[in-house]
Amino acid sequence: MNERGDWAVMRDRRLAEPGAAEAYEAARLAFELGAAVRELREGRGWSQTQLAKAARMTQSAIARFEAGGTVPTLPVLERLATALDVNLSVSFVPRGTAA
């Protein structure tokens, strides 16, 4: 079997383990939230340090967040939204219709 096939088999085995799908989904969500904040920050021409100061966080916390390395709490998301001058919207969307 080739490398790609080996990886696909391993991935499928890992995702079948208890809790793996939930962990994968949490990682996906963290990555998407981080990308959205990075896009907003860059759209304002801000550095991570500038956003960190406005959100009362550290630059390293912003870097970890933007890289998808942490799953944020609602208070952290609220601080980031306030610093970026955007509204935070949390919603439940039926499966199959989410992007």
The pTM of this model reads 0.76
> Is 74 within the bounds of a domain?
yes
CB 72 within 8 A of CB 65: yes
In this structure, is residue 67 part of a structural domain?
Answer: yes
50-73 confidence digits (pLDDT tens): 999 999 999 999 999 999 998 889
Does any domain span residue 93? Answer: no
The CATH number assigned to the domain holding 45 equals: 1.10.260.40
> Which tokens sit at 87?
């509204």
Domain hosting 44: range is: 3-84
Q: Please report whether residue 90 resides in a domain.
A: no
Q: Does residue 94 lie in a domain region?
A: no
- Please give the pLDDT value at position 35: 96
Burial of 34 (0-12, 13-18, 19+ CB in 10 A): buried
With respect to residue 13, please indicate whether it lies within any of the assigned structural domains.
yes
> Sorting pLDDT into bands at 50, 70 and 90, what band is 99?
low
Structural domain total, the chain: 1
